Amino acid sequence: MHVAQAKVVGGGSSINGGTALRNAVKDCEEWVLLGNDAWGWDSVEPVYDFLEKDDLRPTKGFHPLVRTKIEGSGLIQQAFVAGAIEAGLPWVADLNATGAEGTGASPVCRNGERRISAANTFIDPIRGRRNFRIQSNAFVDRVLFSDRRATGVKLVDGSQISASCEVILAASALFSPAILQRSGVGPSALLESLAIPVLQDLPVGHNLSDHPCIPPGASSRPQRSLGGSETGHVAGIGCNLNKPTSHGSVQIGSKDPLQQPVVRPNYLTTAEDRTSAREIVRLGYKIMLSRSMQSRLSLPLGITDDTIRSDNLLDKWIQSQYSSTYHFCCSCRMAARESGGVVDQSGRVYGVKGLRVVDASVIPTVPAANTMWTTMMFAERIGRSLRDGVDVGPPLRSGRSEGLSRL
């Protein structure tokens, strides 16, 4: 499986589909159970409101969210929504509404026809500051420590960058664990096997999660034939498992920072996930066979009614088809230390000083949504705690969260 990562300012938000879906309320309930009482829905929702400049909501944030009007979208998109409704899903105008479940247009980060990434929103406004610098082509080998306090980082070229306050890793759910492990922060058995001195024994790289995707496809039905070669277009829908229970891992295979970490997603390794995968593929197949979709597409490719009806055949088909949505998260998860946590509620790495992780790796459990927007929400809250010199905490009794102001 090819594992793509965004090596660009703005990270995944600069190359992905830009879908800005909020995490579900039930996700927050899971996070609280892991010891994160500051990350309940009452604390999280105001942060989303603060970030969003939404065309459907009275929010006045600085990150624009828009939705394509279904009636003005492509013919296959219109047919999909109609087919989903035929299959029993309700129409939902705002998929970010609390508790929303159904079919509708996803909010995306866009201004007109232009993508709006985290770099546009957070970096561009401060490029002129004297205390801000981006150093490109700076591949980090490891974090440097003095008496268990992070003091900077060492780059692959041997140069060092010193930190006057804290070191903050935001290298993704795959590479932040790798940097920590090379720095001596991680599972002691792994580090000792690679002759890396153990600074802090933590489950870094464990609990890796993703949304596995199973993609049934079909050929489009042409409006007319013009002759020529027998070619055509193929369209598909992604059947994503939004709340998988299977967990994988990411770990380094050597001290060499140029060697890619070993990623083991362990997709669909639980019976619950295999059952859910069958259910979502059957629903997707039902939508593909709906009257609306069949007016635009041929029969689904590579899968038949016989396969859909048989659990055994369908399991084999799914195993041959699934792939990643590149929503890797949870590999440095935020949780109480006794619950397998790597960082506390403010993103600070347990057992050392002056080191935080602020990216998708700290999300406690995989959210039932694309991970980009959840990651930005986590970064916004932890960023405020850094700015204000306070811990991320639960909302005050008045219902207010911590101060909301642009960093």
Please provide residue 173's backbone torsions phi and psi, each rounded to the nearest 5 degrees. Answer: -70, -10
CA distances from residue 274 to 190, 315, 327 in whole angstroms, order as listed: 30, 7, 19
User: Can you tell me the mean pLDDT for 300-329?
Assistant: 93
pLDDT beyond 60 at 101: yes
Give residue-wise pLDDT tens across range 374-384: 999 999 999 99
User: Across all residues in the chain, what is the average pLDDT?
Assistant: 91
User: Contacts from 339-346 at CB under 8 Å and sequence distance 24+?
Assistant: 339/34, 339/35, 340/203, 340/206, 340/207, 341/34, 341/35, 342/180, 342/202, 342/203, 342/204, 345/36, 345/37, 345/38, 345/39, 345/391, 345/392, 345/393, 346/382, 346/385, 346/391, 346/392
- The predicted model gives 177-190 an average pLDDT of 99
Q: Note whether 366 and 14 are within 8 A (CB).
A: no
Q: Is 403 exposed, middle or buried (0-12, 13-18, 19+ CB in 10 A)?
A: exposed
Whole-number pLDDT of residue 113: 85
pLDDT value of position 57 = 84
246 neighbors 296 (Cβ within 8 angstroms): no
Residue 231, pLDDT > 90, answer no
Pairing of strands 114-115, 108-111: antiparallel
Query: Kind of pairing, strands 63-66 and 52-54?
Result: parallel
Contacts of 224 (CB under 8 A, 6+ apart): none
Tell me, what's the pLDDT at 123? 94
Closest CA to 52 of 94, 17, 12, 14: 94
- How confident is residue 86, by pLDDT bands cut at 50, 70 and 90? very high
Of 34-48, 131-145, 213-227, 344-358, minimum mean pLDDT range: 213-227
Which of 146, 124, 142 shows the shortest CA–CA distance to 134?
A: 124
For residue 14, the 8-state DSSP code is: G
pLDDT at 218 over 70: no
CB count within 10 Å of CB 305 equals 11
**How far is it, in rounded angstroms, from Cα 258 to Cα 328?**
20
HEC letters along 241-290: CCCCCCCEEEECCCCCCCCCCEEECCCCCCHHHHHHHHHHHHHHHHHHCC
Which residue bears the tokens 């998708």? 360
Tell me: pLDDT of 297 over 90.
Answer: no
Token output for 231: 């070619």
Interatomic CA distance for residues 127 and 114, integer angstroms: 20
Give pLDDT, residue 238: 83
Question: What pLDDT is recorded for position 406?
Answer: 54
Packing angle, helices 41-51 and 25-33, rounded to 10: 130
pLDDT band at 342 (very low <50, low <70, confident <90, very high): very high
Burial tier of 335 (Cβ tally within 10 Å: 0-12, 13-18, 19+) = buried
206/173 Cα distance (integer angstroms): 10
Closest by CA to 51, choosing from 96, 101, 95, 8, is 96
Query: If pLDDT is split at 50, 70 and 90, which confidence band does 223 have?
Result: very low
Q: What is the pLDDT of residues 25-72, one digit of tens each?
A: 999 999 999 999 999 999 999 999 999 999 888 888 989 999 988 876
| C-alpha span between 231 and 323 (Å, rounded) | 26
Residue reference for tokens 């069958």: 278
Question: Span 394-399, mean pLDDT?
Answer: 50
Query: Do 105 and 68 form a contact (C-beta atoms < 8 A)?
Result: yes
How far apart CA 156 and CA 168 sit, in angstroms, is 18
pLDDT in tens, 243-290: 999 999 999 999 999 999 999 999 999 999 999 999 999 999 999 999
Contacts 24+ apart (CB under 8 A), 94-102: 94/56, 94/57, 95/21, 96/20, 96/21, 96/22, 96/48, 96/54, 96/57, 98/25, 98/41, 98/45, 99/25
Measured CA to CA, the distance from residue 155 to residue 161 in angstroms comes to 8
The span from the CA of 100 to the CA of 258, in Å, is: 43
Q: Where are the alpha helices (DSSP H) in 116-209?
A: 118, 172-182, 188-193
- What superfamily in CATH does domain 16-221+235-388 come from? FAD/NAD(P)-binding domain (3.50.50.60)
